[in-house]
Amino acid sequence: MTLLLDGRAASRSLREKLEVDRKTPPHVVFVLVGNHPSSLSYISIKKKSCEEVFIQSSICHLPEDVSEIQLLETIKRWNARGDVDGILVQLPLPPHICQKRIFEAIDPKKDVDCLHPYNLGRLSLGDTSGLLPCTPLGIFELMRFYQLDLMQKEVCIIGRSSIVGRPLSLLLSQKSTIDATVTLCHQGTKDLFFHTKRADILVAAIGRPEFIKQEHIKEGAIVIDVGITRQNDRLIGDVDFLSVQQKASAITPVPGGVGPMTVYALLQNTIKAHKQRKATV
């Protein structure tokens, strides 16, 4: 029997254990530029999830044509606010804005999406005590929730983005997490099958609908599908779920797998940032 790694159920259960200070709740600000339909939908999901666990949230909605300087000034103001624990800039940003400059403008202590080089640098140095990137953290928490046998496995991650693939490779290869041997594949990988077929845990973060087929995976592998592509109002993952589930020992669905766990990780980070701010006041 293949185990379905249900991110909705896991996040619901894990949220109940979150310790939120209800007298002076954590406060996160979502900075949204423009009216990208998926961004509007993600922000509304994140805001609702915050409300459910008594985290305060605000939306700072800026027009599509906001200048980079205006956006930087806005972030500076939120950085200076003593009542704000977290700042999340919803991606993607319009092309006239340099993402890197925006990431670097966020106060690392408030960087609940873990985009700032300081936080990513800490992770790459083996320190997992700070704010961690939401999707990688969500994937780790999901696998832990289902108490899978994870230690020292061969992990293959496809996709090297700075929000998913690359930081996930850093997180899972830490001794303090699952001490995995990680292979990071990408568009330049010559023989993808060679790597995917050896993997005990295969993570697809590519953005190509149903790219991963049964032939890619090893019998009994754990398959984590990060991909989300919207096609005719349907959300489709990177994994051909129906065929791959016949061979996998555990698999995430899309939707309802990694997505809800990414939101859960954001809640976790916001609470952590709040605790750390209070400890320094």
Shorter beta-carbon distance to ligand NAD: residue 147 or 187 = 187
Which stretch in 64-72, 105-113, 155-163, 173-181 sits in contact with ligand NAD by CB under 6 A? 155-163
Which of 189, 243, 249, 276 contacts ligand NAD by CB under 6 A? 189
Which of 36, 47, 61, 208 contacts ligand NAD by CB under 6 A? 208
Q: Please pick, among 6, 107, 111, 113, the residue that the annotation labels catalytic.
A: 113
Give every CB contact of residue 146 below 8 A, 6+ residues apart in sequence: 3, 5, 10, 250
Size of the site for ligand NAD (CB under 6 A): 24
Q: Report the half-sphere exposure of 73 (CA within 13 A, side-chain side).
A: 6
Which stretch in 69-77, 79-87, 172-180, 200-208 sits in contact with ligand NAD by CB under 6 A? 200-208
d(CA 53, CA 121): 30
d(CA 49, CA 29): 13
Give burial (CB, 10 Å; 0-12/13-18/19+) of 2: middle
Say whether 111 is catalytic.
no
In angstroms, what is the minimal distance from the CB of 112 to ligand NAD? 14
**DSSP alpha helices (H): ranges in 97-240?**
99-105, 117-124, 134-145, 165-172, 192-196
Q: Kindly state whether residue 11 participates in binding ligand NAD, applying the rule CB under 6 A.
A: no
Q: Are 200 and 173 in contact (CB under 8 A)?
A: no
Structure tokens at 269: 């980070």
In angstroms, what is the minimal distance from the CB of 167 to ligand NAD? 10
Shorter beta-carbon distance to ligand NAD: residue 187 or 232 = 187
Residues with active-site annotation = 46, 90, 113
Residues near ligand NAD (CB under 6 A) are 135, 158-161, 163-165, 185-187, 189, 192, 205-208, 226-229, 258-259, 262
